[in-house]
Amino acid sequence: MRLSKIRIAGFKSFVDPVSLELQSNLTAILGPNGCGKSNTIDAVRWVMGESSAKHLRGASMEDVIFNGSASRKPVGLASVELIFDNSEGSLGGEYAAFAEISVKRQICRDGDSKYFLNGNKCRRRDITDIFLGTGLGARSYAIIEQGMISRLIEAKPDELRNTLEEAAGISRYKERRRETETRMASTRENLARLQDVRDEVNQQLEKLEKQAKAAQRFRELREQARHLEASLLFQQWQGLQGETASQFQQLQQHTAAYQAQTAQVQQLDTQIEQARATLSQQQTDLTQVQATYYQADAEIQQLNQRIQHQHDLKTRQQAALQQAQQAITDAIAHQTADQSQLDACTQRVAELQPQLEPLQAHISLAEAQLNAAEVELHTWQQQWQALQQQVAEPTRQAQVEKARMEQLERQLQQANQRAAKFQQEAHSLQPDRFSADLAALTAQLQTLQAAQHTHQQQLQALHTQWQQSQQADTNSQRELAQALAQRQALYGRLAALETLQQAALRPVDAEQQAWLTAQALDQQPRLAQQLQVVAGWECAVETVLAQDLAALCVAQWPDIANLAPSSLSLLALNSEPLALNPQSLATKVIAPTAAQTWLQAVYAVEDLTQAFALQSQLAAHESCITRDGLWLGRNWLRMQRPQSAQAGVLQRQQAIQDLQAELACLETQISKLESHQTQIQQALQAQALARQHAQTEVNQAHKAEADLNSRVQALTQQVQQQQQRLALLNAELEELALQQEDLQTEHLQATEQRNAALLALEQAQHALAQVAPRQAQLQTALQQQRQRLRDEQQQWQSLQLALETQRHQAMQWQTQLMRSAERLTLLQVQYDDLQMQLQATDEPLSALQDALEQALAHKLVIEEHLLALRQQVQQQTLRQTTQEQQRQQALKQAEALRALQEASHLQWQTSQVREQHLAEQLAKTEFEIAQLQAEASDLPEISALQQQLEQVQRSIQRLGAINLAAIEEFQAQSQRKQYLDQQYTDLTTALDMLAAAMQKIDRETRRRFKQTFEQVNARLSDMFGRLFGGGECYLEMTSPDLLETGVAIMAKPPGKRLSSIYLMSGGEKALTAISLIFAIFALNPAPFCLLDEVDAPLDEANVGRFCELLRYMASQVQFIFITHNKTTMELAENLIGVTMREPGVSRLVAVDVAQAVRLANG
């Protein structure tokens, strides 16, 4: 198998579709630096399943899609396809028949990556599985990129072992071993879960066995209790029948007595109604006479009231007349007294009026003298205030200047102190000493920031990888869950179908099953399991064969002497082949010859029309049947459908086979999904650790950067603060010097102004002392004038008040006299009216007295008639009361009889209900009354039966809670235990088989690894000698365990004694790595080998040896190499140039060297 084409479109710089035609085994890819040559290597690695963007020289998987250039827009899809020539059939398995194999991968910007194999969509796992053991893969030794030479030679022993394993073809064994381990782990888990279930079932069986015994005992006791309860109910029912008849006779007697007493009560009710009517008429007459009596009495009372009213009115009028006469006498006396008071007040006003005028003149004189004294005192006060002002101003000025001098002295002292302090602080500040530290910290911070940026980029790349893996894990889990759910559903369907099939085909007769087991026939197949029916004819075949579908297929006839009579069909499998009628139903099945014999005489027709057309041509032993099972003979027709358990046996058998095939495919898919899931989980764990480590580095870098930033900022701020403080101190010192000069000048001026103010103060105090004695004289004269004026004003106010008082009283007495005259006139008028009313009251009083006497005589007559009627009513009421008492007594007797009747009726009804209830309970016991009646003579008394029943019930209660379903559950769990034991045995056997398979894989792995190690070691020594012209190189195992040992490479170039591979030069390392790779290729040649500038570190001589080795191995291996060395270019038979005439876009230029030589020579 060789690589014939590489098709690239939209991948990195190859935006336009290009095709690399690889026509020979030595193909060189040429071009200037940066034109995209290595992108071809990345494309091959990517299409073969590389999932890490880091190994593709990118930050994320989107970086493989062309991202645009100055003249081109980005594209949304990248595609790479490898075309392999498999005409020799090197690739085995299911693809060995394909002459050409296509492997393709596409990715969109949404992250959706798709794989295709020969144009069919597939999984990444399918791609990697194809190349297992071939030496090809995304990270195999067949693809040597830039820097991989040094990494290979400096690889860890475990990594170098992986390279040897790929060369030995062990990778597929390791994959199988890993799958086997997964299956063993899964089997062990299933075994543990199964053992848990078995333990649980055993515990349940122990409990259920006890519960089943208790349930059986409960059923026996319950049946005994039911029989005793029926016997007891029967005896009670018989006794209750006689009691019910006796109670019915007593009920009839009580009913007759109650009816007789009720008739007597009705007769008394009639008599009472007649008496009530007579009493009602007498009461009506009494009411009328009583109304007349009340009317006469009312007239008498009215006349008495009128007479009394006239007497009262006369008495009141006489009293009112006397009161009016007395009021007139009093009013005349009051009028005389008021006139005397008015005269006295008028006289006093006349005496006080002349005394007011002299007092008014004295007051005016006193006011004039007071005004003169106040003017004189005011003039002195103005003079005094002026002198006080002359004294206060110098005093204030002197105090102000003194305070000002003290303040200036304090300010001058403070200025001197501040100047000294500022000078001392200025000497202590040295900002230049921090400059060196600040420069060192700034440089350290810049270095740390660059490292931080690198760590952040690494963390972002790891986070992107982790997200992609997380998404892949989610998708894988979803696919696995769907597959497991589908498998569970299929297993459920398969179990149900197999159960139905077994129920339909296995015998239900226990004796027959035992006979089959004894004859070793219980595992023999049934006829339905041996049939293969053409689709659509299952119903027809089932209709014809019917019960024979369950026939047992045997190789030879068993001994049927001991077989009990039963339904059993046996079918021999060793019959001779039969020549089939092409139109018979036998041609629709593949079956044993005996079964085909049964179907040979049945013609298969498509529909009923054909059946009726063929019916007349049938012989007596022949028949025909349609697809849907309509069966016709020459003179009969059968249309029934199978109703037995065999119905649908053939369709069900086909469904079981389909489900088993589908389950096998699904198990394979689940195994692959679980393996893929494990890989993703491992990748996630590794990525999580890498992210955690990167995050820790980023956090540490952040912290260090923050600390340095803080230190730089603090130091910078400290320098700035000291510089600012120093400048501020210098400005303060200059300002303080000017301030000191100004303070001294102001202090001198304040001293001169204070002395002038003290001199002016002394002159003003002398003038004030001369004016001060005049103040006391003026104030004394003013007080005397004010007191004299107050005395005169008080005397005038007293006299004026007395005069106003007398005038007011005189006005009041005048008003009182006018009111008294008006009241006297009114009283005289009232007195005259009262005399006239008294005379009018005496006239009607005599007439009222005569009418009263006549009314009294009429009342006496009515009263006599009223008394006679009352006596009649009382007598009739007494007779009616006697009758009602008689009725009440009769009614009580009737109520007593009715109560007796109701009690008897209730007892009778109760007995009937009890009898009916006992009859219903007897019916529920399901015992016949005739049977119980026959047993009645042998039964004990009711009390003995009750004791027996209570004893049985106590026995039932002592059993406690009973699980009545325990017997069936015990049987079901016993069957389940047998099934679980069989499963446990199967799983244990499978586990042993898997362990044996793993041991076999380990033995094969050790054998292959040891063989490959020895062969590669031998070829490595030869290759090393060719490339170096001598020297020694070999591989060494790090551990005796061939399954786990690492591999180290030891090399000694000619003429050197090196203690470590790491001491070799770059060219020596490259030659050593090339020796190892070519040694591996010589052992297990991969279909092709990609070399990316492997010859770069080699000198001209070593390049020549390298080219000779390539030419030697090109007969077996296809080499595709990228080079800038002219010697290596000359080796190539096919040249592919990569150019970038358009910035950012790679294009190809291919040259066939052999054809070019032919053209040049021709």
- Provide mean pLDDT across the span 827-837: 76
- Between 561 and 579, residue with greater pLDDT: 579
CA distances from 948 to 933, 960, 1038 (A): 19, 19, 91
One-character DSSP codes across 649-662? HHHHHHHHHHHHHH
| Unique residue bearing structure tokens 């006679």 | 868
Is the torsion defined by CA of 1005, 1009, 1015, 1019 positive or negative?
Answer: positive
Q: Which of 6-10, 639-643, 835-839, 930-934 has the highest mean pLDDT?
A: 6-10
Band of the pLDDT at 608, cuts 50, 70, 90? confident
Q: How many alpha carbons fall within 13 Å on the CB side of residue 234?
A: 24
Report the alpha-carbon distance of residue 1129 to residue 575 in Å, rounded: 76
Summarize pLDDT for 652-662 with one digit per residue, the tens.
777 777 788 88
Structure tokens at 1026: 């060719």
- Between 848 and 903, residue with greater pLDDT: 903
Pairing mode, strands 2-9 and 18-21: antiparallel
| Unique residue bearing structure tokens 């270095």 | 447
> What is the predicted pLDDT for the residue at 792?
76
Q: How many alpha carbons fall within 13 Å on the CB side of residue 456?
A: 8
Write down the domain spans for the chain: 505-613+630-646
901 neighbors 258 (Cβ within 8 angstroms): yes
* pLDDT of 154 over the 60 cut: yes
Band of the pLDDT at 359, cuts 50, 70, 90? confident
1084 neighbors 140 (Cβ within 8 angstroms): no
38 annotated as belonging to a binding site for a ligand: yes
* pLDDT of 646 over the 70 cut: no
Summarize pLDDT for 170-186 with one digit per residue, the tens.
766 777 777 888 888 88
Q: Say which range, 495-499, 605-609, 728-732, 945-949, has the weakest mean pLDDT.
A: 495-499
Report the alpha-carbon distance of residue 492 to residue 51 in Å, rounded: 38
Summarize pLDDT for 332-344 with one digit per residue, the tens.
887 788 778 778 8
35 annotated as belonging to a binding site for a ligand: yes
Structure tokens at 305: 């009231």
Summarize pLDDT for 76-111 with one digit per residue, the tens.
899 999 998 888 777 766 777 788 889 999 999 887
CA distances from 412 to 417, 429, 728, 734, 740 (A): 9, 26, 20, 15, 6
- Nearest CA to 712 out of 529, 449, 371, 1042 is that of 449
- Between 822 and 496, residue with greater pLDDT: 822
CA distances from 332 to 345, 580, 815, 831 (A): 21, 173, 16, 15
Helix (H) or strand (E) holding 79: strand 77-85
Summarize pLDDT for 696-738 with one digit per residue, the tens.
777 677 777 767 776 777 677 677 777 777 777 777 777 777 8
> What is the predicted pLDDT for the residue at 561?
58
- Of the chain, the percentage scoring pLDDT greater than 90 comes to 4
Q: Three-class SS of residue 5?
A: strand
Q: What's the mean per-residue pLDDT of the chain? A: 78
- Between 561 and 541, residue with greater pLDDT: 541
Report the alpha-carbon distance of residue 80 to residue 107 in Å, rounded: 9
Q: Say which range, 138-147, 242-251, 260-269, has the weakest mean pLDDT.
A: 138-147
- Between 429 and 894, residue with greater pLDDT: 894
Report the alpha-carbon distance of residue 249 to residue 880 in Å, rounded: 40
List for the chain the helix, strand, coil content (%; round to 5). Answer: 70, 10, 20
* pLDDT of 543 over the 80 cut: no
- Provide mean pLDDT across the span 1050-1071: 76
DSSP 260: H
Is the torsion defined by CA of 600, 605, 608, 613 positive or negative?
Answer: negative
Band of the pLDDT at 1122, cuts 50, 70, 90? very high
37 annotated as belonging to a binding site for a ligand: yes
Length of the chain in residues, anyone?
A: 1162
> What is the predicted pLDDT for the residue at 534?
80
> What is the predicted pLDDT for the residue at 511?
63
- Provide mean pLDDT across the span 961-972: 75
Report the alpha-carbon distance of residue 738 to residue 744 in Å, rounded: 10
Report the alpha-carbon distance of residue 12 to residue 66 in Å, rounded: 5
Structure tokens at 230: 């029926």
Structure tokens at 456: 């952040």
- Of the chain, the percentage scoring pLDDT greater than 70 comes to 86
Report the alpha-carbon distance of residue 534 to residue 182 in Å, rounded: 41
Summarize pLDDT for 998-1013 with one digit per residue, the tens.
888 888 888 888 888 8
- Provide mean pLDDT across the span 672-701: 78
Report the alpha-carbon distance of residue 981 to residue 195 in Å, rounded: 9
Band of the pLDDT at 27, cuts 50, 70, 90? very high
> What is the predicted pLDDT for the residue at 218?
79
Structure tokens at 1065: 């030069």
> What is the predicted pLDDT for the residue at 643?
45
> What is the predicted pLDDT for the residue at 172?
67
> What is the predicted pLDDT for the residue at 843?
63
* pLDDT of 537 over the 90 cut: no
Report the alpha-carbon distance of residue 999 to residue 181 in Å, rounded: 11
> What is the predicted pLDDT for the residue at 81?
94
Q: Say which range, 242-256, 917-931, 980-994, has the weakest mean pLDDT.
A: 917-931
Summarize pLDDT for 364-404 with one digit per residue, the tens.
777 777 788 777 777 777 777 777 677 677 777 777 777 77
- Provide mean pLDDT across the span 597-618: 82
CA distances from 637 to 630, 632, 633, 648 (A): 8, 4, 6, 21
Q: Say which range, 31-35, 46-50, 267-271, 551-555, has the weakest mean pLDDT.
A: 551-555
39 annotated as belonging to a binding site for a ligand: yes
pTM: 0.37
* pLDDT of 6 over the 90 cut: yes
Q: What is the distance of C-alpha 423 from the center of its chain? A: 72
- Provide mean pLDDT across the span 1129-1134: 89
Report the alpha-carbon distance of residue 167 to residue 1013 in Å, rounded: 10
280 annotated as belonging to a binding site for a ligand: no
90 neighbors 1087 (Cβ within 8 angstroms): yes
* pLDDT of 1155 over the 80 cut: no
